[in-house]
Structure 1
């Protein structure tokens, strides 16, 4: 059962179409996998539709950003909204690519995984390998913010690390665990510099990830791998 969900602020922003492309893809994939969030978004969309022509309504985005400025966690979400504004500029300039042909599955090594609809146009992405970790970057033209497929082989792990910015991990298939517990497909895990963890998978897993800064490894010889942190974020 899915235990980790987007905040209601993110779900509201998704329903209103106010997220950057990378995060909108993540929300769409999670909502496809999670009946609870499907129901929430459907209700939010109905409310938006009923007030669409209310000229006195203050813009939802402005209200959300003002609320999020009050603490560190909300600043992380405000950074996501800042990227959304850049997406609008890119669309106006015709810089964002049109949808590519879709593939319902993706193959990594000898394993094949089904993809949520929002990720199917990236099914032919090219993979780079770092030991038991494989990364395929998605070309979304979002500057420093990078979206990727991340695959970890059976028995693989990512060394203990924290984040210089924010990191979103949406588990698509398999399971992994860290100091906070075990995650299952559909779990939506949003972390920042306040979090330290050591993801490990027994059976292997496929994730969709977003990060706006490199990983920073924190323990022992793993600190020597910080150049690799730039490669896999």
Structure 2
């Protein structure tokens, strides 16, 4: 158990799924922390100081020392506070967990989110890539297991299972299909099993609030893309 004198702070944004995964890790570990809500349209000096490279949330401050990138933060939390381990003890299983968490972020989540920022053919390609890799993730899930690594919630679950909720929001806003219920039943069951864990469910932002926020955000993105397309060419 971490000493009481330790100061843990999380800089985040309520609608960020990456912040949510860090909050899940802290919740499962039973770690008390101070939460600082960030205005992403007017980023605070604290955020810019703590994450000068990417200027993004989440940022975890442990006794004033900043850490960035959700996967890095979650693994740090697991290594620092030993109770309720998230990564398996077996080295081979730990390596597998890291692999699939990275795969989910880079091959599934990245094109899903990128589709939200694109229009036309670029958006179609992102959706296609996401669907292809989600099928690979579906095949990696063991039949009959509640969570990615078995019957105990772990690293891959809290790192990536939130994408089930965000995928549905993207599908509704973009009128696309990311997750096929018939072809990906294990994936859908996995999403549901994770977000229904009481400790994690209470951290979830209301779906309607997420939907309304992302509808507004999407309108701003489309307007900006259309302005770029219609801008006259300049230069020689």
* TM-score category of the 2 structures, normalised to the smaller one: under 0.3
Larger Rg: 2
Greater fraction strand: 1
Return the TM-score normalized by structure 2: 0.27
TM, length-normalised to structure 1 = 0.27
